[in-house]
Structure 1
Amino acid sequence: MSWTVPEQIKLTMVHQMEIRQEPGLTRSNTRETTCVVRRPDHGELRAALKCGRCGREGVFVIQDLETTKRLRRGPVARSLVAAVVLLGVVAALWIIGFADGNILFQVLAIPASLLFLPIGIYLACSPSGNIGVRPPESVHFSTDTVREGLSYVTRNSRRGEGLACSGYAKPAN
């Protein structure tokens, strides 16, 4: 995820038709409907996108730039504080262990480094994934699962409806 807030947002409605589970493999048959919208200058924008399969209209709520930045500040700050704490614990174990010659801290420093350093670096480099868009609620249809040979196939009990219809948003590139 990027540190910047995207101006263009790609909205997608996904209609899941069926799931086929075979030994060691799961296949999903979906239909997607997409559109690209521009973030509003002020307030929020309600954008409706109709599913190309079932016709359900999903309403996405898109926040303006300032509101999105405000929503992202909290998770980014918590992430950076957690990174500093984890990296500080590793540094303290190495300093105490090798400066004072304390064998317990020397033994703890190596596994703490292997565990905390990658997590701390990830938290320090990873911004919040919040792009200021609230997707529509998912709709789930009644389904049946039947066995076909070695695989299990889940379909809707009524022909043509599918399993679920949901929406998501991501930055448009």
Structure 2
Amino acid sequence: MSLTVCEGSTTLEFTFEELMKYHGPGYPGGVAHGFTAMRVALPLLGTSVNRREVKVRTAFRGPGGRDSIEMVLRAVTEDRYTVTAELEKPERGTALERYVWEFDYRGDVVTVQLRDDGFVVDEFIVLSRKPSRTEEEEAHLAQLKLEMTDRLLSRDAQEVYEVV
């Protein structure tokens, strides 16, 4: 399972494991969300997507998602990555409202959102947004992140994110 993009005439492939090495251990769920959203959207933008031409807008605020986009598309350092509340969908509920990604490649736009299939549990949202956590809560949150990562990566990408 990998992502393929081009830079000039060179084809580049990225696995989830490589994205995790770049990001570090902090937010594996966020890396999995970014990876999975790209696995759905990028093939719809073409067979040879030039990574330095993709613009990304998202409601997702996490550093794992940002780092996955940066490694594959170089969109953060090249100012083609925007986090915006404009894409939030509060009508979908707290667990789903921010899991929206928009990919623009040469004027073709694909927007994907997380399917409502229990990929993100309410307990994770509540605990992750809690301002002060105990050591026990931090440990539990780390476990919830790993469980979410497993849920995301154990399914086909199109079963996790849908095109809207």
Per the normalisation by structure 1, the TM-score is: 0.21
Per the normalisation by structure 2, the TM-score is: 0.22
User: Going by fraction, where is helix more abundant, 1 or 2?
Assistant: 2
Q: Relative contact order: is structure 1 or structure 2 higher (C-alpha 8 Å, sep ≥ 6)?
A: 1
Structure with bigger gyration radius:
1
User: Going by fraction, where is strand more abundant, 1 or 2?
Assistant: 1
